[in-house]
Chains A and B, each alone.
Chain A
Amino acid sequence: MTTLEVYLPEEVVYQILSWLPPKSLLRFRCVCKSWYSLISSPNFINIHTRNLTYITSTRKLIRHCTSTSRREEVYSVFLDNQWSFDRDDDIKIDFPFPSSTKYTIVGHCNGLICLSDDAHDYAIKIVLWNPAIRRKLILPLPNIILNNMGYMYVLGFGFDCKANDYKIVRLCYENAGDSNKLPPLVEVYSVKTGAWRGITAPAPVCHITGYFLVQGFVNGAAHWVAYPQFCGQMRSLILSFDMCNEVFREIMLPKCLAVESPWYMGAVTIQDSLSVVEYDRSFSMLSVWVMKEYGVVESWTKRYNIDTKVGLGIMLGVRRNGEVLLTTRNEELVEYDVQTRGSMDLITYAMKNSFFVDTYKESFALLFEGEKTHI
């Protein structure tokens, strides 16, 4: 190890450090006092978080559950290269919450995972977890806790880049016969304030679909497939919640999707673009539409059309080389080449509906607010 001959000014060292992964930085806090205070400062953490948007991630985070003697959460990181997709054995992630609870992953942003106990129905117990720095945060109970029977809750998770704050939005729909009442009750939790509160903007007058309560976080907003009050003609659309300004907006879908039933669609993020996955009613076909230019309705483009009769199931994500990651009817994870229509097993023996895939990033989220995971 040769010593550098030149002297590096402090502001240059600061810049180099702001591109390092969190594990290295936590280790380098020991180097000397000035590095310790630098790495611990909120300003530095903000710059580090901002740099994440410029780092092209070459890895994917994959979660699934196994059930040997009891339900176990398994998190693996895969190296996403052009010609290979292999597990990164250097990264070992241990799930720090009790396994007795059945968790749904609400979202994943800057390496921070948001989980809820069954987001479809109750969504009261919500936790945040940053595996890269081994910190977690159990959220306080939301303010809107109503009679569990007859209410449906929807969650959205994302990052407010102006306030450098992670937020969770929760919508509570009261059941009223065939459909739910509009508008829903809305509240937001922010990690920095550590509390739930209402929003000043009006609540949306849309229903969010029940089957795929997935959300896609992109461009600073959480997105769901939704539809306004039904009045004869179905009009599916995308509902978004802007995390910075805390307002709801609607984004139109292309005509051929808008007339389709929203129950078979889900809003997801694919390679940093807002996308919609649509399944046909018999689940024999799936198509993926990508909004190439955010907010420009004319830019919706059909990117994939996949025949799933061959035993394929749910779309999970897209590899950097364009191959699609899907589940199969046997609850395996496969990668699928759209050109050759060939697929390859990646993970087998998972529990039903337990797969989650996203681009892997490592950040300092929860460094100041969370607690250690004791693992």
Chain B
Amino acid sequence: MSKSPEKKLVTLKSSDKEEFVVEESIAVTSETIKNIIEDCGLELIPLPNVDGKTLAKVIEYCTKHSTGSNDDSKFDDECLDTKQLSVLVDMLLAANYLNIKSLFEKVCTKIADRIKDMSVEEVREVFKIENDFTPEEEKKIRDEHAWAHE
């Protein structure tokens, strides 16, 4: 008794060795996974760039979105509702690696919303960016749009 193609299952293995059994039709929401399956025909797919915690959320997203319903913005707000920016960033990087365009864009807008009111110093601290401007250069740029810094 062979399974119909839609019910075919694959196993996704996270970087911390957690395994998730998922319907192939849902897993291929990720272009990356789709390509691996098409090229190599694997049934156990290692994803060394995504940890178990994040992979679980990504799978949740893909499952909810595979039904094709458009009215899932409320779900997205819940699914992506987290107090920690680092969790959102992990999801963003996972969506990038797994090539899931819709999830990537949604998380982008969430992160943008989270950082939009930050000061210049706060942004540098969060993203570990070194200031390579001289004080004079920075002042000149600040003065071009002083009102944006209020």
Contacts and interface: CB of A to CB of B under 8 A. Distances in A.
Contacts of B141: 29-30, 36
A52 to B, nearest CB: 12
B117 A2 contact: no
Contact of A4 (B85, B104, B131): B85
Interface stretch (A11-19, A81-89, A184-192, A347-355): A11-19
A3 interface: yes
Contact of B124 (A5, A15, A32): A32
Interface stretch (B4-12, B64-72, B88-96): B88-96
A19 B110 CA distance: 9
Given A27-B145, A30-B120, A32-B133, A20 B127 contact: no
Contacts of B130: 32
Given A31-B123, A32-B131, A17 B86 contact: no
Interface in B90-115: 90, 92-93, 96, 104-105, 108-109, 111-112, 115
B39 interface: no
Given A1-B122, A15-B108, A23-B148, A6 B116 contact: no
Sort chain A's interface into a size bin.
20 to 34
B40 interface: no
Contacts of B148: 23-24, 26-27
Given A32-B130, A32-B133, 7 more contacts: A6-B90, A8-B93, A12-B92, A19-B109, A27-B119, A27-B149, A31-B123
Interface of B: 84-86, 89-90, 92-93, 96, 104-105, 108-109, 111-112, 115-120, 122-133, 138, 141-142, 144-145, 147-149
